[in-house]
Chain A
Amino acid sequence: MSSAILTEALTKRYGRRPGIENLDLEVLPGEIFGFIGPNGAGKSTTIRLLLDLLHPSSGRAMLLGLDAHRDSVAVRRAVGYLPGEFGLDPRMTGRQLLQHFGRLRGMDDLGAAPDLAGRLDLDLDLPMGRLSRGNRQKIGLVQAMFHRPPLLILDEPTTGLDPLVQDTFLQALREARDEGRTVFLSSHILSEVERVCDRVAIVRSAHLAALETTGSLLEKRRKRMVMVFAAPIDAAVFTRLPGVGDVGFQAGPGERQITVTLRIDDGVDGVIKTAAQYTLLDLRVEHPSLDEVFLGYYEEEQP
C-alpha cells in the first residue's frame, strides 16, 4: 500500500528565507501523525505545499500515491483540510457553507456534518459572523471532515476549542484512525499530540529535527529522578555518573534528610546501584511530557 503522504527533499524558500528545507517524510496509511514545532518552524508551509496552495522551490510531495501539484484536484478530493487561519463569510450559516462545499464535491447531502456538529455542540444555522472563535474553529473542523476523506490534514486543529470539545475532537480523530483513515496534524500544543499521535515529527527552523513514534520519543528522552535519602550524602557520587546531568541537592523534607534530583539521559542502572549504597527513603521517576521532549530538541539545536 502506498504512503498516505510522502515528501522527497521538499523545499520551499521565500526569497532567501527558507520556509522548509529538504523535507523527507513518510506518513503511513491509518496513523495519526503529529507535526510539531514552534511558530515559524515550517509546519504551515509544509501543509500548504501538500495542498498545492504553495508551489515548491524543489522536491516533491505525493499524497495517497498522487502528485500534490500535478494531481492536485484528485488530491483535494481525497483530503479534508483545515487551514491554520481561515475566514468565513459572516452572512452565511455553517449549513450554507457546507451545502456549497458539498455541491462542489458532488454530494447530495451534508454527509457526516450533522453528526459532527452534534458531537461538537455546534449550531449550523447561525450566521457565521455571530459565532465565537471556538465555534468558528468547529465550522473549520466540520468542513474538513464532513465528506469522510481518507486523509485529514489539519493545521493547529484545536486552537480556540475548550478542553471538553478538544476531548471530543481528539476522540473523533481516533475513530477516524480506527476506520483506517490517516490524520496528519500540526500543532504546537504538545499535550494533544501526545494524547493521539502514533508518530511525531519535530520541525525546527525549516528542518526536520526528529521523527519518532510518540512512545519512543517520550521513552528515550530525559527522565527525571527524585530520591530522598535518610542522611546527607556525598554529592559527587551522582555527578560522576555518565549520562546523568542537572544534579540538584535540597535539604529536607525531614530534619536530616536530603532530596536529590537529577536528569537521566541513558539507563537508570548506574543511578540505582549508586543510590542503593545509602539509606533511601523515597524514589520517583518522572517521565517528561512531550513539551519537555520538544524543548529538549529545541535547546540541543540552539547554536
Chain B
Amino acid sequence: MTGAGQVWVLVAHEIRRRWRSLLIWGVALGALGALYVALYPTMSRYIEDYMENAPGGMEQYFEEFGGSMTVEQWLGSEFRVGIAPIALSFLLIIMGARAIAGNEERKTLDLLLSNPLRRSQVVAGSLGAMALSLAGILVIICILTYIAALIAGVDLGPGGLAAALVALWPLCLVFGALALLMSAWVRRAAIAIAVPGVIMVVMYVVESLAEAIEAVRPYRLISLFHHLGRPMEGDFPWTAVLLMLAGTCVLGAAALAAFARRDVYT
C-alpha cells in the first residue's frame, strides 16, 4: 500500500470512529444557524422599529447597517464572532490534542505505531481527519441553515452562506494544527489544549470587544476572527484564507518535525 493510501486509511478510520459525534456537532450548530435565520424576520422588524424611535445621537451607530440589518449581516455576525467559530475551533483543538499526546496518554499510540507507518503519515492523517471532519460539519450547518431560510421565507443566497462557512474552515484548522503541533511536541494533551485554547479565546475576546470599544480596535489585527471579513456580503477574505491555509501547513510541518524527533512513551 502506498504512503498516501495509508494516510487515507487513517483519515477514514478516524472519521468512521467519530461520525456520530461529528453529526451531533453539525446538527447542533446547524440548528443554531437555523434559529438565527428563523429569528431574523422578527429581529429585523424589532431593529427597524427601534431605529425609527431611537434618539438622534444613535443614528450614527446604525449607519453601519445602511439603515437596516440584512440577513447576511445578521448571520455573518454569528459566523464571525458568534458561537460557531469558537465551538468549531475548540472541536479541532480537541482533535489535534488527542491525535498524538492524547493517544500517547491513553496508551493507544504504541499499537498504531507498531504498523508500518511513518510518523509523518500519522501527523498527516490527523490533519486530514480534522480538515474533512470540519468540512462535513460545515456542510451540515450550511444545509440546515439554508433549509431554515427557505422555510422562514428569508431571502438568503446559498453562495453567501457557503462563503461564510468556507472562510471558517481555515480559521478553525489553524487552531487545530496548533494543537496538533503542541500534541506532537509536549506529550501532554492538557497543554496541547490549553495553549491554542487560550490563544483562540484571547483573539475572540479582542475581536468581540473591538466591535464596541474604540480603544481595543487597533489590537483586532492580531485576531484571526477579524480577518474573516464579511464573506456573506460578497467580501470574501481571499488573502486571509490563503494565509491561514499556509499557516496550517507550516504548523503541520512543524508538528511532523517535532513528532519525528521525539521518543514515544507509554
Contact = CB atoms under 8 A, between A and B. Distances in A.
Interface stretch (A33-41, A79-87, A168-176, A294-302): A79-87
Contact of A85 (B17, B117, B266): B266
B19 to A, nearest CB: 12
> Looking at chain B's contact residues, is the secondary structure mostly helix, strand, loop, or mixed?
loop
B256 to A, nearest CB: 15
A80 B115 CA distance: 8
A79 B264 CA distance: 18
A49 to B, nearest CB: 10
A50 to B, nearest CB: 11
B263 A54 contact: yes
Contact of A106 (B1, B108, B263): B1
Interface in A70-123: 72-74, 76-77, 79-81, 83-89, 91-92, 100-101, 103-106
A76 B117 contact: yes
A103 B111 CA distance: 14
Looking at B6, B9, B116, B261, the one whose CB has the most chain A CB atoms below 10 A away is B116
Given A83-B111, A83-B114, A104 B9 contact: yes
Contacts of B115: 76, 101, 104-105
Nearest to B6: A104
A101 B116 CA distance: 10
Given A104-B1, A104-B9, A55 B263 contact: yes
A86 B111 contact: yes
A144 interface: yes
Given A53-B264, A85-B266, A100-B13, A105 B116 contact: yes
A51 interface: yes
Contacts of A104: 1, 6, 9-10, 115-117
B52 to A, nearest CB: 56
Looking at A91, A101, A103, the one whose CB has the most chain B CB atoms below 10 A away is A103
Interface string A62-74: 0000000000111
26 contacts: A51-B114, A55-B261, A73-B117, A73-B118, A76-B113, A76-B115, A77-B116, A80-B114, A81-B110, A83-B107, A83-B114, A85-B110, A86-B266, A87-B106, A87-B108, A87-B111, A88-B111, A89-B17, A89-B108, A100-B9, A101-B115, A103-B9, A105-B115, A105-B116, A106-B5, A143-B114
Interface string B99-114: 0000000111011011
Interface in B202-238: none
Interface residues of B, number: 22
A86 B110 contact: yes
A54 B106 contact: no
Contacts of A81: 110, 114
B114 A76 contact: yes
Q: Which 7 A-B pairs have the closest CB atoms?
A: A87-B107, A106-B1, A77-B116, A81-B114, A83-B110, A87-B106, A53-B264
A48 B110 CA distance: 9
B173 to A, nearest CB: 25
Nearest to B110: A83
Contacts of A85: 107, 110, 266
A53 B264 CA distance: 5
A57 to B, nearest CB: 11
Contacts of B5: 106
Contacts of A100: 9, 13
A232 B34 CA distance: 101
Interface string A233-271: 000000000000000000000000000000000000000
A51 B113 contact: yes
A53 B117 contact: no
Interface string B171-205: 00000000000000000000000000000000000
Nearest to A147: B115
Looking at A74, A85, A100, A104, the one whose CB has the most chain B CB atoms below 10 A away is A104
Contact of B266 (A73, A83, A91): A83
Contacts of B116: 73-74, 76-77, 104-105
Contacts of A84: 266
B249 to A, nearest CB: 23
B9 to A, nearest CB: 5
B199 to A, nearest CB: 29
Given A53-B113, A91-B17, A104-B6, 19 more contacts: A48-B263, A51-B114, A53-B110, A73-B116, A73-B118, A74-B116, A81-B114, A83-B107, A87-B107, A88-B108, A89-B17, A92-B17, A101-B115, A103-B9, A104-B10, A105-B116, A106-B1, A140-B111, A143-B111
A48 B264 CA distance: 9
Looking at B106, B111, B118, the one whose CB has the most chain A CB atoms below 10 A away is B111
A88 B103 CA distance: 10
Contacts of A89: 17, 108
Contacts of A48: 263-264
A249 B118 CA distance: 64
Contacts of A87: 106-108, 111
